[in-house]
Structure 1
Amino acid sequence: MTERLERRLGTGDAVVIGLGSMIGAGVFAAFAPAARAAGAGLLIGLAIAAVVAYCNATSSARLAARYPSSGGTYVYGRERLGDFWGYLAGWGFVVGKTASCAAMALTVAAYTAPGLGRAGQSAIAAAAVLTLTALNYFGVQRSALATRVIVAVSLLVLAGAVVAIGVAGDPSASRLSPFPGSGVLGILQAAGLLFFAFAGYARIATLGEEVRDPEHAIPRAIPIALGITLVVYAAVAIALLLQLGPTALGAAADPVAQAVPSGLSPVVRAGAALAALGSLLALVLGVSRTAFAMARDGHLPRTLAAVHPRHGVPHHAEIAVGVVVALLVAFTDLRGAIGFSSFAVLTYYAIANASAWTLRAGRAIPAVGLAGCVVLAFTLPLSSVVSGCAMLAVGALAWVVRTRAR
């Protein structure tokens, strides 16, 4: 039976869920492929990604205040641009962030069991997905509390890592030479890969139907979460580059653990796993809510719109997402998951900015955000662009078939 979700979350809970989505695999995994693409120029890429993320956050906040219901840009695109664009945004979000869930789970495995082979790490990743799916099943309040603890521990570990590198490491500005170390294309590619790490504020918007006073809470929560994340990312990126240099950073599977003194490495590995678990926890929550909203409108199987009579969560959608991600980790690697997810999420935010443009107030920010999303999406690695376009084509074809059938 389809029902409305309960409004249980406050502004602080929404901020923590956003932080739990952003401060995770982005810190511990995305800097390595970004360094391979741009060298020390990843710092410029980080700034570009932050500007695009800010525009997207502002557009999302304006739209969330107008349409405070589950679904995020799926709802905004439908209301402002038409059913097809809302559907395409929802399709891109569900498919792309399912890949993000796989990336988070694989990061957990890479940091906790670096010596295991692919099969062993895939098993650990699948176990992490299924465990957190079970936690979400028993209620969003319990998930928000767990995320709050995870974010606090993760921030302490990252702060300790940056301080340890500065005090006991061997940081040197000479490792940044030559700067930026890459051309424009490499920097833009790094920005697209790093954007993957900033996308967590979407989780706040997709919880619009479960946040108290969403017209005020969501616009406050998004910039707070984004600002905290940018400060953390910049500090970690600079510390890693000064300690390892672009070449070693690009080659490292676990760069933060390698950059700190050896005695601190086990703590960093535990913190990396915990941070990635925090991202995975919030991502499964957000993807299931978008699937719930699309199912409620008939774009996905109706059974996914069921709400648990006791726990008040879309339990069928959560189980479906958890099972799909647990299967996906057996067939993809971390870099591929990040690139594919980035393309899909940039498409999602391009539609969000186009939707915000129709509000007519303050059009400069959505215009910059839309242009930034398109440029970053099509400067990603070619494999990510091709697979992303194929994903959009499959979604569009499904829309045409379903519409004609009706």
Structure 2
Amino acid sequence: MHVTGTVPPSAPAPQETPAAPAPAADTEGSANPAEDPTGGSGRHARHFGLPVATALVMGNIIGGGIFLLPASVAPYGTVSLLAFGVLTVGAIALALVFGRLAQRDPRTGGPYVYAREAFGDFAGFLTAWAYWITTWVSNAALAVAAVGYLDVLIPVSDHVWTACLAALVLQWLPALANFAGTRYVGAVQLVSTVLKFAPLLLVAVGGLFFFDPDNLGPFNSSGGSSIGAVSAAAGLLLFSYLGVESAAVSAGEVKNPRRNVGRATVIGTAGAALVYLLGTLSVFGTVAHGRLVESSAPFSDAVNAMFGGTWGGWAVALAALVSMTGCLNGWTLLSAQTPYAAAKDGLFPAAFARRRRGVPTVGVGVTVVLASLLTVYNYTAGSAKVFETLVLVTTFTATVPYLLATAAQIFHLVSGRGELVNRRRLVRDAVVAAVAAAFSMWLVAGAGYAAVYQGVLFLFAGILVYAVMAARRQRRKA
């Protein structure tokens, strides 16, 4: 999920351990049995199979970033394709780590569950808190970015309140799908993933037939060393893979999670990587390098170069809008799943553990309200730079769950807890965990000093919340 690179110029661009859970949040469904007698199941709640779980991963990774990525990295030359390859290796390593962790503990919550089981309540809370911040701030950013593409189809940005209303509608429609139940969440995610992949594959695959090597430009056009160019390009691409944890976070809603979470995570990440790489390569080969560097709609330019005419802008705008709506749908569900898991353990307020039709409705409601307030603030205050800073903060907060989950895997490997006596597999898992840890640290470095500084402040605010929740749990035990 790449947010900061997807936005238009006007609006810059997400358990239980053996300890007993809190009494007020110990049910799988609603806190009030009469309110949800099915315990969160029923005809509106449906477990995701492998296809939908894979679509959730791919849909959350591929937001709107792909529509601007080729132009973003073009100034560095084709060396940026090498950066893509390096990042893909790191992202798949992280996906493999999540798959192994889900085999060990396939409960809803993903990184939160893994961190808490390995390191205790405090690490679990920090993971849940950081991930929750990431999801609702990123949702606001995605909605604002989507308005820029909607404006190409229907002019809405002439007035601030019209644009703001459009951004709010784009947030609340996915939220309503979530309130309707996991059955509808899965349907929306699957349909939106298919619809957005049609135009992407048109360019990614069709563009190869119109490929002209003369359009590629120099291998390294940055003016510096190739290693420096790879690092600089990677700095723009690092956050394109946020979302690899999607299936793990929703493991409790996946059929046969020990088997399907890992497969969906790896297949979804690899699929997203393939679309990224082929799409960027095709655009590089169909649009002249000099024009691509200045392009604000590289996929539109590629379609126009392939087939002529000017309809590419409309097609890409529609694809981007569908892509971001699907991304919002998936991230809205994820934004509620981690607080739900933490609330069942007494680390978040008990209300977050209420669930209807398979969806933690309180978490969805709180998340969409917070994202809506942030959106209104962005439009009414004209605080584009402030909003951009907040979005950059999410790129740091997202790495906290990644690092702690990877650390949990390393902990299990070193301690030998629950590991098969298979030296070859142990070595393989250790290498994968080391690559995933390096990838996560690279994400932290790529966020920048300002984002890390602001993100730490967000984490410290969470410590105060943890102090209150820990005190309440202690008082119950007394």
What is the alpha-carbon distance in structure 1 between the residues aligned to residue 77 and residue 214 of structure 2? Answer: 15
* Pair 1:191 & 2:234 matched: yes
* Pair 1:225 & 2:268 matched: yes
Amino acid in the other structure paired with 2:404: I
What is the alpha-carbon distance in structure 1 between the residues aligned to residue 74 and residue 462 of structure 2? Answer: 32
C-alpha contact 2:337 2:363 (8 A) present in aligned 1? yes
C-alpha contact 2:303 2:312 (8 A) present in aligned 1? yes
CA apart distance, 1:320: 1.0
1:93 is aligned to 131
- The change in CA–CA distance for 1:249 and 1:202 in structure 2 (over 3 A counts) is farther
C-alpha contact 1:101 1:284 (8 A) present in aligned 2? yes
C-alpha contact 2:175 2:364 (8 A) present in aligned 1? yes
* Pair 1:383 & 2:429 matched: no
What is the alpha-carbon distance in structure 2 between the residues aligned to residue 88 and residue 199 of structure 1? Answer: 18
Provide the alpha-carbon RMSD of the alignment: 2.8
1:69 is aligned to 107
CA apart distance, 1:103: 3.0
Pick one of 190, 194, 197 that aligns with 1:155: 197
Residue-by-residue CA offset, 1:285-319 (whole Å, 9 max, x unaligned): 111111211222222221121112xx232111111
2:179 is aligned to 137
- The change in CA–CA distance for 1:286 and 1:31 in structure 2 (over 3 A counts) is farther
What is the alpha-carbon distance in structure 2 between the residues aligned to residue 256 and residue 356 of structure 1? Answer: 39
1:395 is aligned to 462
CA apart distance, 1:240: 2.9
What is the alpha-carbon distance in structure 1 between the residues aligned to residue 138 and residue 188 of structure 2? Answer: 20
Pick one of 4, 7, 19 that aligns with 2:58: 19
Pick one of 394, 398, 402 that aligns with 1:349: 402
2:437 is aligned to 370
- The change in CA–CA distance for 1:378 and 1:178 in structure 2 (over 3 A counts) is closer
CA apart distance, 1:273: 0.7
What is the alpha-carbon distance in structure 1 between the residues aligned to residue 168 and residue 333 of structure 2? Answer: 16
- The change in CA–CA distance for 1:249 and 1:401 in structure 2 (over 3 A counts) is farther
- The change in CA–CA distance for 1:8 and 1:376 in structure 2 (over 3 A counts) is closer
Percent identity over the alignment is 25
C-alpha contact 2:63 2:324 (8 A) present in aligned 1? yes
What is the alpha-carbon distance in structure 2 between the residues aligned to residue 132 and residue 10 of structure 1? Answer: 20
Larger helix proportion, structure 1 or 2? 1
Rg (Cα) greater in structure: 2
What is the alpha-carbon distance in structure 1 between the residues aligned to residue 256 and residue 114 of structure 2? Answer: 18
Pick one of 80, 83, 87 that aligns with 2:118: 80
Amino acid in the other structure paired with 2:354: A
Amino acid in the other structure paired with 1:295: A
Pick one of 151, 155, 158 that aligns with 1:113: 151
Residue-by-residue CA offset, 1:129-188 (whole Å, 9 max, x unaligned): 011100111011111112111111111111223456556687734424435665556643
Residue-by-residue CA offset, 1:102-135 (whole Å, 9 max, x unaligned): 2322332121215625834443222100111001
Amino acid in the other structure paired with 2:133: V
* Pair 1:319 & 2:360 matched: no
CA apart distance, 1:23: 2.2
For 1:243-262, what aligned pairs fall within 5 Å after superposition?
243-244=286-287, 249=292, 252-261=295-304, 262=310
1:284 is aligned to 332
C-alpha contact 1:9 1:211 (8 A) present in aligned 2? yes
CA apart distance, 1:258: 3.9
For the residue of structure 2 that corresponds to 1:85, the secondary structure is helix
Amino acid in the other structure paired with 2:57: G
- The change in CA–CA distance for 1:401 and 1:247 in structure 2 (over 3 A counts) is farther
Residue-by-residue CA offset, 1:183-242 (whole Å, 9 max, x unaligned): 556643543542322222311011111112111111111111111111100011123334
What is the alpha-carbon distance in structure 1 between the residues aligned to residue 211 and residue 93 of structure 2? Answer: 36
After superposing on structure 2, the runs of 4+ consecutive aligned residues of structure 1 that deviate more than 6 Å are: 168-171
Q: Which range is displaced more, 376-385 or 184-193?
A: 184-193
1:213 is aligned to 256
- The change in CA–CA distance for 1:134 and 1:69 in structure 2 (over 3 A counts) is same
Q: Which range is displaced more, 117-126 or 220-229?
A: 117-126
Query: Structure 2: any 5+ residue segments left out of the alignment?
Result: 1-23, 29-39, 305-309, 414-425
- The change in CA–CA distance for 1:112 and 1:258 in structure 2 (over 3 A counts) is farther
* Pair 1:127 & 2:169 matched: yes
For the residue of structure 2 that corresponds to 1:299, the secondary structure is coil
What is the alpha-carbon distance in structure 2 between the residues aligned to residue 250 and residue 394 of structure 1? Answer: 41
Amino acid in the other structure paired with 1:348: P
C-alpha contact 1:41 1:182 (8 A) present in aligned 2? no
Pick one of 149, 156, 175 that aligns with 2:217: 175
C-alpha contact 1:25 1:197 (8 A) present in aligned 2? no
- The change in CA–CA distance for 1:207 and 1:246 in structure 2 (over 3 A counts) is farther
What is the alpha-carbon distance in structure 2 between the residues aligned to residue 150 and residue 45 of structure 1? Answer: 28
1:48 is aligned to 86
C-alpha contact 1:189 1:376 (8 A) present in aligned 2? no
What is the alpha-carbon distance in structure 1 between the residues aligned to residue 464 and residue 229 of structure 2? Answer: 33
What is the alpha-carbon distance in structure 1 between the residues aligned to residue 54 and residue 142 of structure 2? Answer: 19
Residue-by-residue CA offset, 1:229-285 (whole Å, 9 max, x unaligned): 111000111233344567765655443234431223211211111011111111111
What is the alpha-carbon distance in structure 1 between the residues aligned to residue 267 and residue 354 of structure 2? Answer: 32
CA apart distance, 1:75: 0.7
What is the alpha-carbon distance in structure 2 between the residues aligned to residue 213 and residue 224 of structure 1? Answer: 16
Residue-by-residue CA offset, 1:72-111 (whole Å, 9 max, x unaligned): 1011000012221111111111111223222322332121
Query: Structure 1: any 5+ residue segments left out of the alignment?
Result: none
C-alpha contact 1:39 1:182 (8 A) present in aligned 2? no
For the residue of structure 2 that corresponds to 1:212, the secondary structure is coil
Q: Which range is displaced more, 38-47 or 360-369?
A: 38-47
C-alpha contact 1:30 1:197 (8 A) present in aligned 2? no
Q: Which range is displaced more, 126-135 or 38-47?
A: 38-47
1:266 is aligned to 314
What is the alpha-carbon distance in structure 1 between the residues aligned to residue 398 and residue 291 of structure 2? Answer: 29
Residue-by-residue CA offset, 1:29-87 (whole Å, 9 max, x unaligned): 45555557x55443233223212211211111111111111111011000012221111
For the residue of structure 2 that corresponds to 1:359, the secondary structure is helix
C-alpha contact 2:299 2:312 (8 A) present in aligned 1? no
CA apart distance, 1:401: 5.4
